[in-house]
Structure 1
Amino acid sequence: MLSVYEGFFSGGARIVHSDVVLGLQEGGQHHRVLSIHGEVHREATRQRMEDDACYRSLTAAGVGVTSLGRSFGPGGATGSPAGFTGPELADTARATADADVILSLKEQPLRLLNQAGLPRRPVVVALHRSDPENQGAALDELKAAIADGTVVACVCCAESTRAAYEAAGVPADLLHVIPNGVDLLRFRPDPARRLALRTSLGIPADAPVVVFAARYDAMKNVPLFLRAARAWLAREPHGHVLMCGAGMTPLNPGLDADIEAAFGRRRPGTDRLHPLGVRHDMEHVYAGADVVALTSSWGEAAPLCLVEGMMSGAVPVSTDVGDSAAIVAGHGFVTPPDEEAIAAAWSEAATARAGLAPALSACRERFSRTRMIAAYAALLDGVHTRAAVPPALPEPSDPVPEEGPPGPHRRPLPS
């Protein structure tokens, strides 16, 4: 199997996909990864492939990872956005020639896989959004790959993804829903992790804590989150707010401007607002929190932060986007996009945490990594089996007799 990534950079889709690759490798499949970009500048952060946690996990497990070596971002873009060079296509051809099935992480890598002259292999696309119309030319690339038979299946991480892509014109029989899952041994309530995280940040053991795990992107609606944080910190004098993800650092001028817009020039309460940036110990961060928050406006499908936070014992509070409402039903709260309503829900969630613990515990199997990987394995095995079976030859028909005068071994043709 070959997985093709647009690049290695912080985000839930890459975490899920990389975990799927690891799980399938553990189960006996042989996997390799090709990344179009070796370096990406996004969310005010330059992210090198070799520094990425997913890259390190994959290579540590023996998964080969190579890159076309492109860079993307302000002042660092290399490679023509309109096409690929001969050497890049040669590298891609070598990588795809050895694969039985290709996995595309989202639809963006199809601009490479749709290039003429590459070895033809069945492609399965993993879809992780609920807004296909906002993916630029990627939707057209997906439709083109479906039309010529290259894409044979699409994995949707959420029902909202399936519905959105079907409405956008993707055939329903190609769309398979496999909900996101997480490692339940890693993400679990843990008092020792909770205490260690709070001690490291100077947060009292009994203080209510909200965590926002998201990259600095417009779809996450960071300004709304910060306005809600201001309102909540004003009503909860001992509360603390953690912000994790690419761009969630004081070095990001956009975030700094958003904080000033939400809190004012004097920024009252921001001593209890902790911009932590990218963290590689999210199991500790979630275990140390009472509430995991999401304020996204669009694009979400099955937000990984809600699942990881819930499995770690934090109560989810989310706006109604993608499958978020279905994920938190019975375990948390859904809010309108209003800062006062969100702040009130955070307080209610923190208070209700102990009472909701049994419900959060009871739903763990539903969000199991094992269940997710088994579903991927079954789909990929089926694709490989069908691709390995040669097409059936047409049934032989009786030859049409030649025209000519009847003979001892020739019957006259009917008139």
Structure 2
Amino acid sequence: MAERGALRVLSLYEGFFSGGARVLHSSVVAGLHAQGRQRHAVLSIHDEVRRENTVQRMVDDRRYRQLAAAGVRVSSLGRSTGVAHDPEALTDAEADVVARELRGADVVLSLKEQPLRLLARHDRLPDRPVVACLHRSDPEHQGSGLGHLLRAADDGRLAAVVCCAESTRAAYQAAGVPAHLLRVIPNGVDLTRFRPARPARRLAVRGAHRLPADGLVVTYAARYDAMKNPRLFVAAARELLGQDTTAHVVMCGAGMSPTNPELTLDLARAFADRPDLLGRVHLLGVRHDMEQVLAASDVVALTSAFGEAAPLCLIEGAMCGAVPVTTPVGDSARIVDGIGLVTGLDPAEIAAAWLEAGARRDSLAGALLAARPRFSHVRMLSAYAATVERAHRGLGLTLARG
């Protein structure tokens, strides 16, 4: 229940679909709303999107249901990627909706920079301080988003830019965002959810997914996207399964299912010489029980080529007791320092690192346990709350006087 006089905060989303940024931001919004000192709402541009060879509806999304269950009001402009829209312009009716939502807010949070285009018609919109929340390290790959971010800074609307990683801060400062606006709030996760499983539970989950009681299990939690480099993961999986006759690999996320023709083609090509090995490749698609899947794994793998900042899959997997193995993107090396391994982009090298990580899992258990406080979402929520309050006290008062 929000306290009387609670700060009113509106989050702008491009849409609801699978991805770590939405998982993270939605947990922040739900957590801050539950604390009562801030009253949060969400406005999404789209209520349906087509991504990773799937149609993802807002009302079906777990993040939407999480927010609704927490009492956060969620509304949408009603756009669909299946209908032609000018992505850079609002209709008069849409501008009226945005204006109404802004009048009910003291501070605006933007999930990534793209939704800032909703504020482009600022001559018709109420002034509110904006905090942009960034979760990648490649501003050059964000379409017109960087331009909207820089324009918001030039207009004086941008109160702060939250970066989930040092790599994000460095990349956006180099791209022209004023350094004084940039602040790093490292990602965190709910440690009561992401934790190692008891041996009996671990065996039960393995059995449910036809995984061996013993034997190496490597899990890949990512959407099917060039940034995530799924073809590299598949190539490394071919190397691993050819060397270790007891190993299995698990692929989770949007597009990681037999219904994705691109993924099935990747697998057919990589395993053309040994199709029998495909029986140890498990395509689980989008999962809502990743804490169980990760707790049943020995290794959590990331093979991304670019764009990553502080990947949640590495943190979630490590907190569940899986050893993280990652390519050197974003802050990944910082995240796994002392608890995991960093590899290059060679499939054979990656497979060898997975084998090493599996062999070292028991010896790294103590380090994984000791790292838990570093990744607590409690610390993260406190930092976000303080940033929102500073934005309101500072830029919010300036805009009100203007």
TM-score, with normalisation over the residues of structure 2?
0.95
Mapped partners of 1:360, 1:90: distance in 2: 50
95, 113, 116: which is aligned to 1:110? 116
- The answer to whether residue 385 in structure 2 is matched with residue 377 in structure 1 is yes
Decide which structure has the larger Cα Rg and report it.
1
Tell me the secondary structure at the aligned position of residue 30 of structure 1.
Answer: strand
Which piece of structure 1 moves more, 303-312 or 189-198?
A: 189-198
Could you tell me which residue of structure 1 aligns to residue 76 of structure 2? 67
Counterpart pick for 1:41 among 50, 69, 94: 50
Distance 2:398 2:66 in 1: 37
Q: 1:266 to 1:146 in 2, by over 3 A?
A: same
Q: Equivalences for 1:246-395 in 2 at 5 Å?
A: 246-264=254-272, 267-387=275-395, 389=397
Q: Which moved more, 1:381-390 or 1:225-234?
A: 381-390
**Partner Cα distance (1:335, 1:12) in 2:** 22
Residues 1:58 and 2:64 are matched in the alignment: no
Structure 1 window deviating more from structure 2 (1-10 vs 266-275): it is 266-275
- Cα-to-partner distance string for 1:269-311 (whole Å, 9 max, x where unaligned): 1101001100000000100100000000000000000000000
Q: Is the 8 Å Cα contact of residues 70 and 78 (structure 1) preserved in structure 2?
A: no
2:108 and 2:236 mapped to 1: Cα distance? Answer: 43
Shift of 1:21: 0.3
Deviations 1:3-27 (A, max 9, x none): 0000000000000000000111111
**Partner Cα separation in structure 1 for residue 398 and residue 290 of structure 2:** 47
Q: How far apart, in 2, do the equivalents of 1:370 and 1:211 lie?
A: 26
The CA distance in 1 between the partners of 2:396 and 2:207, in whole Å, is 56
In 2, Cα distance between equivalents of 1:354 and 1:45: 38
Task: Give the 3-state SS of the residue equivalent to 1:354 in structure 2.
Answer: helix
Q: 2:188 aligns with which of 174, 178, 181?
A: 181
Give the aligned partner of residue 242 of structure 1.
250
Please give the secondary structure, in 2, of the residue aligned with 1:359: helix
Distance in 1 separating the partners of 2:326 and 2:148: 32
Specify the code of the residue in structure 1 equivalent to 2:340. Answer: G
Partner of 1:88: 94
Deviations for 1:122-147, whole angstroms, at most 9, x for unmatched residues? 00000001000111111011101100
Q: Which moved more, 1:200-209 or 1:119-128?
A: 200-209
Structure 1 residues 141 and 389: CA distance shift in structure 2, 3 A: closer
- Secondary structure of 2:275's match? coil
Q: Which residue does the alignment assign to 1:125?
A: 132
Instruction: Quickly say closer, same or farther: Cα 1:361–1:246, change in 2 above 3 A.
Output: same
Name the residue aligned to 2:5.
none
**In the aligned structure 2, how far is the partner of 1:6 from the partner of 1:312?**
30
Distance 1:223 1:100, change over 3 A: same
Opposite residue 153 of structure 1, the aligned amino acid is A
Stretch of structure 1 that moved more, 170-179 or 195-204:
195-204
| Deviation >6 Å, runs of 4+ | none
Distance 2:104 2:85 in 1: 25
Of the candidates 212, 222, 243, which is equivalent to residue 214 of structure 1? 222
2:13 to 5, 15, 24: 5
Q: How many residues align?
A: 390
Identity %: 61
Q: Which amino acid aligns with 2:90?
A: F
Name the amino acid aligned to 1:16. Answer: L
**CA distance 1:139–1:390, shift in 2 (3 Å):** closer
Q: Is the 8 A contact 1:296 1:321 kept in 2?
A: yes
The answer to whether the 8 Å contact 2:88/2:117 transfers is no
Q: In structure 2, what residue type is equivalent to 1:111?
A: R
Distance 2:396 2:329 in 1: 40
> Do 1:307 and 1:367's aligned partners in 2 also have CA atoms closer than 8 Å?
yes
Deviation at 1:78, TM superposition (A): 4.1
Question: Structure 1 residues 392, 58: closer, same or farther in 2, change over 3 A?
Answer: closer
In 1, distance between residues paired with 2:257 and 2:380?
33
> Shift of the alpha carbon at 1:380?
0.8
Q: Which AA in structure 2 matches 1:27? A: Q
Give the distance between the partners of 2:182 and 2:45, measured in 1 at CA.
25
Cα 1:313–1:260, aligned 2, differ >3 Å: closer, same or farther? same
CA distance in 1, matches of 2:312, 2:185: 13
Taking only aligned residues, the RMSD between alpha carbons, in angstroms, comes to 1.4
- Separation (CA, whole Å) in 2 of partners of 1:54 and 1:197: 24
CA contact (8 A) 1:36 1:69 kept: yes
Equivalent position amino acid for 1:96 in 2: L
Q: Is 1:140 aligned with 2:147? A: yes
Q: Deviations over 1:18-55 (max 9, x none)?
A: 00001111111100000000000000011000010000
Shift of 1:195: 2.0
Unaligned runs of at least 5 residues, structure 1:
394-415
